[in-house]
Amino acid sequence: MTDYAVRITRLNYTYPDGTKALEGIDLDVRCGERIAVVGPSGAGKSTLLLHLNGILPGNGAVRVMGMSMEPSNLRQIRKQVGLLFQDPNDQLFCPTVFEDVAFGPLNLGVAQDEVPRRVEKALLDSGLDYPIRSRSSHHLSLGERRRVSLATVLAMEPAILGMDEPTSNLDPRNRRHLIEVISGLKATLIIATHDLELVLDVCPRTVLMDHGRTWADGETRSMLADSELMERHGLEVPLSLRSGARM
Amino acid sequence: MRHSFIDRYAGLDSPLHLLEARTKLLAFTGLIVGVLCVPAGQGSLFFVYFFATAILMGVSQVPLAYIVGRTLLILPFIVLAGLAVPWKGYLGLSVLFLRAILCLMLLILLTNTTRFVELLRGLRKLGCPQILVMNLSFLYRYVFVLTEETMRMKQARDCRRVSRARFREEIKLLSSMLGTLLIRSFERAERMHFAMLSRAYEGDLPVVSPRRFSFRDVAFLAGVGLFIYLTFLMG
């Protein structure tokens, strides 16, 4: 088995309208690593995530758990890579929570009588109670919807989890709760976010993206504290690092 | 925001609610076909059907006012449709009305004694094509999202204008709002599709096994079947 969960070399992607979204991305992620992908809006973070399981077909090599991105590998790759989308309304398309969480396992061919157990475990792991399964997604709060979205991915027991802005629009309590849930996950994490405090909490390594390229890749704390680098790419040094420097 | 457009009372637990979705689908379809087959001259048979529907409504515990209100809400559309049918005298028109009212009441009763999800599962188990059932479930899921998006857009519009514009401007505004909504829905559909693919969707989804038929279901179906058969004999 390979040490690398994801190996990306010279990945390019241009949207059908001609917009260059990714230009020569190189990224290696080891199994069990937790990395953050930060950068201004439109940097290509979400586009990069969509390459992790072959949703978007870019030029260049993407290998996931040693498998190359070929049609014959897609099923295996999608089993290994879970993606959490930014808007839960995109992710939760079934009439009830149960069906949404069961959607992935059913597609993977998990046995019918095993499915409820998977759903229950995924909901518990996402910090939810099992009774939520019979509720309709449109009756849930945003915090609950985010966690149910996470459950829909966890139910597939992925080795790699890609998350797109997991904490955006959440109130402080829900945000804190979600960060705790994320911290407890065992999968390899790749988190695209603007929430730099989340990054400091969860990810020891950070990749900085801007204009479809990677500009920095290294230890989180020192990178986020580099005010010149941060400002050049439309970001700012997180408050916790700034006040620490002043004291 | 809380919505329940379609299955507001589906959460009750009357004997009718407890039946399996497939039972109700078959029974109500049977009844509707029965209503449609009543010959125009047989006024008394309509009353038999009204009586049967009334009994079902009584058993279901769904408020009468709700069913009547919903029926009246949809009736104008039937009237419009009725205008398109060749004129067959007042008798023809009243028969059309009677049939429409009965069918509507039965449908409202069906959707309010069965959760929409169960109904979809029943349809699927009865052999309805998956793509159709899936689209219905998306409709049910996203009608609320769409409603909320429309409301937010309307609020944003109202915040930026003081008085109503002229009719032409108003129409222009409305059409551009509709266009925006269409594009947003289109984009959402694409993202949804990505989300489905990410969860290993390959075009076919197995259904979780539903509840089994019980003795109650068989008895109910037999009763309804017998009733329909008798009305055919009378007609």
Residues of A in Cβ contact (< 8 Å) with B3? 138
pLDDT at B7: 78
ipTM above 0.95, yes or no: no
CB contact under 8 A, A112 and B208: yes
Assigned domain for B10 exists: no
Q: Which domain holds residue B134?
A: 129-198
Residues of A in Cβ contact (< 8 Å) with B140? 95
In A, minimum Cα distance to B186 occurs at A90
pLDDT at B43: 80
Q: How far apart are CA B173 and CA A41, in angstroms?
A: 30
pLDDT at A158: 95
Say if residue B154 is in the same domain as residue B171.
Answer: yes
pLDDT at B52: 93
Here the CATH number for the domain that contains residue A90 is 3.40.50.300
Residues of A in Cβ contact (< 8 Å) with B144? 138
Say if residue B117 is in the same domain as residue B144.
Answer: no
Query: Coil, helix or strand for A176?
Result: helix
CB contact under 8 A, B192 and A55: no
pLDDT at B208: 67
Residue pair B218/B22 in contact by the 8 Å Cβ criterion: no
CB contact under 8 A, B192 and A90: yes
Q: Which domain holds residue A106?
A: 4-246
Assigned domain for B182 exists: yes
CB contact under 8 A, A89 and B188: yes
Say if residue B148 is in the same domain as residue B88.
Answer: no
| Residues of chain A predicted below pLDDT 70 | 1-2, 243-247
Nearest to A95 among B116, B195, B205 (CB): B116
Assigned domain for B205 exists: no
Assigned domain for B2 exists: no
CB contact under 8 A, A95 and B200: no
Assigned domain for B3 exists: no
The phi-psi region of residue B61 (left if phi > 0; otherwise alpha if psi is between -120 and 50; otherwise beta) is left
Say if residue B111 is in the same domain as residue B22.
Answer: yes
Q: Which residues are CB-neighbours of A54 under 8 A, at least 6 positions away?
A: A62, A69, A74, A77, A78
Residues of B in Cβ contact (< 8 Å) with A91? 195
Q: How far apart are CA A119 and CA A130, in angstroms?
A: 8
Whether B140 has its CB under 8 Å from any CB of chain A: the answer is yes
Q: Nearest CA to CA, how far is B188 from chain A (Å)?
A: 7
Say if residue B58 is in the same domain as residue B100.
Answer: yes
Say if residue B162 is in the same domain as residue B180.
Answer: yes
Assigned domain for B188 exists: yes
pLDDT at B220: 92
pLDDT at B209: 61
In A, minimum Cα distance to B117 occurs at A95
What's this model's pTM, rounded to 2 decimal places? 0.82
Say if residue B120 is in the same domain as residue B80.
Answer: yes
CB contact under 8 A, A79 and B200: yes
Write out pLDDT tens, residues A143-168. 999 999 999 999 999 999 999 999 99
pLDDT at B211: 65
| Residues of chain B predicted below pLDDT 70 | 1-5, 207-211
Residues of B in Cβ contact (< 8 Å) with A90? 188, 191-192, 194-195
Residues of B in Cβ contact (< 8 Å) with A89? 145, 188
CB contact under 8 A, B120 and A138: no
Q: Residue B204: what residue type?
A: D
Whether B138 has its CB under 8 Å from any CB of chain A: the answer is yes
CB contact under 8 A, A138 and B206: no
Q: Give, to the nearest 10 degrees, the angle between helix B116-125 and helix B130-159.
A: 150
Query: Coil, helix or strand for A227?
Result: helix
Assigned domain for B170 exists: yes
Looking at the structure of chain B, the number of domains it has is 2
Task: Concatenate the DSSP letters of all residues of A60-121 into one string.
Answer: EEEEETTEES-GGGHHHHHHHEEEE-S-HHHH--SSBHHHHHHHHHHHTT--TTTHHHHHHH
Say if residue B34 is in the same domain as residue B71.
Answer: yes
- Tokens 């019979």 correspond to A134
Say if residue B71 is in the same domain as residue B157.
Answer: no
Say if residue B116 is in the same domain as residue B19.
Answer: yes
Say if residue B113 is in the same domain as residue B214.
Answer: yes
pLDDT at A26: 95
Which of B:172-231 have CB within 8 Å of A? 188, 191-192, 194-202, 205-206, 208-209
Three-state secondary structure along chain B? Answer: CCCCCCCCCCCCCCHHHHCCHHHHHHHHHHHHHHHHHCCCCCHHHHHHHHHHHHHHHHHHCCCHHHHHHHHHHHHHHHHHHHHHCCCCHHHHHHHHHHHHHHHHHHHHHHHHHCCHHHHHHHHHHCCCCHHHHHHHHHHHHHHHHHHHHHHHHHHHHHHCCCCCCCHHHHHHHHHHHHHHHHHHHHHHHHHHHHHHHHCCCCCCCCCCCCCCCCHHHHHHHHHHHHHHHHHHHHC
Strand partners, A81: A160
Looking at the structure of chain A, the number of domains it has is 1
Query: Mutating which of B199, B207, B211 best tests the A interface, going by the most A Cβ atoms within 10 A?
Result: B199
pLDDT at B205: 72
pLDDT at A247: 46
The phi-psi region of residue A69 (left if phi > 0; otherwise alpha if psi is between -120 and 50; otherwise beta) is beta
Say if residue B120 is in the same domain as residue B229.
Answer: yes
Q: How far apart are CA B98 and CA B95, in angstroms?
A: 5
Core vs surface per residue B25-48: b (16+ CB within 10 A) or e: bbbbebbbebbeebeeeeeebbeb
Assigned domain for B8 exists: no
Residues of B in Cβ contact (< 8 Å) with A153? 199
